[in-house]
Structure 1
């Protein structure tokens, strides 16, 4: 365990916006069902087969991996067919194509000596346990992309986005720690897509919400579109909340 503790700086606990690859090697076609299983880099969250994990270690310097292996179970001859609820194959709710079931096992691997530590284990450092649990509980990026291709919805395009003016003002939007640039509000914040101004939203009838600074900014500049901070994720999952200020902040959900 002391070896693992010396590498804790190279272990990250995934955040909701991180893309986690755990179904297929980024270089080969290896999966958790391959002979050597799959190794998830616990720093970059990229997955590698047995033949490429050493290459990734030498390239990135990341020594700690979550090893995922799936072993095939016998398929009962009398297994009932499941009624599909989703137009897809091989995913929960999709068509049952009588694929066999698999038992999944996990361990923590420390390179370069390929030291294998059992998981789950209370003896592992807490950071490693939390990181591994988060990786296993999060939907894999590969599966998200697969499901999205089957369940794509009709896109709604704002006319104001077609020729939206964007000013190169040198503004850098930080990943967190936002606040209105005209008051101290830190919630209900909107990023103007023309000049990068971060301003609070409209005031509600009961006095809650913002201070109308986003609308006031539009009245001065006529810059028409803003996006609510926190609704666009790195993996582009879900729908961003966009407002057309021309229509007095009428909600548009832009799927991407």
Structure 2
């Protein structure tokens, strides 16, 4: 932070060196993702304050997400887990400047035919309201291959997601890195219209409602359905392999995204390229017996807010790997329906009773922007509302922000407005 005499602060390079010293990726000079670094920072702080919620500054970022799944029988199941950020997809079809975009694309197509290039000043980018991104998060989505214990068969269910609690500080990640033509990862060139104040009160989830009936605990025959060993969709695997990825890595990508599609598998693959066993064959050995599950790994998953029964299933399906087990839980919502009805409505443990809650009104206090065209290159800068004015933090350069690029953020940080 500058070289002014008497100025107090920690230089970004020193901060990164201390926080990332034990991390193989963040301790290097390679391009990294700001959200992953946020995760790493949260983990380091949590490790330094085990069980001490009053002194743990990360407590204010935690909140409880509640998922509601309804099968065609009309019966429902609820599942809760803790998180410290929301990832929001960007619905480009909700852009507010569609006419300008259409005119720009026509002009660009004509200039391309003439061999001319569009200048930076002429480029028109989609403008999507943050409200549309939030609505996309909480809107219903189909869950194929959902095992309904009411129908005793697989079916397509509808999942909706809401927040059981609202944190003191809300972190939003905009999903700007997607797959482009030819399944090449690219960064969305889009503006997000973010207001200074948002109200997400409508996103609150209130659990089981009067008149709702929970899905029964097990199948109609009285036996609990055991999830089959996941099998990769060969169509997805072959398409990924044709791009040039390792065949076994492609299998894992398809399995860990529940064969949802090529784009989902590609996104998973790109975020797991550094896994040490990513290119190793999937073990065909029988799933480990229940008594071979590492208790420490089990307790770690339980501490995340997952039911113990589901955590055991996930560890079995992932060979005991905690990271893959976590992804398995999120990609297999049908597993939650196999736990008891009581636990399905209260998967958050007593250890999470310290999580704060309050009003759903927030004010923007900071945002992080990525300057660059892809996931492999670029630079991050931060803008922070400090003492009533916006300040830009660019490595060790700190200055007042004159033209605030609020619509270019990748991570947004909001603070709750006290009632």
Fold shared per TM-score above 0.5: no
TM-score (norm 2): 0.18
Write 1 or 2 for the structure with the bigger share of helix: 2
TM-score (norm 1): 0.25
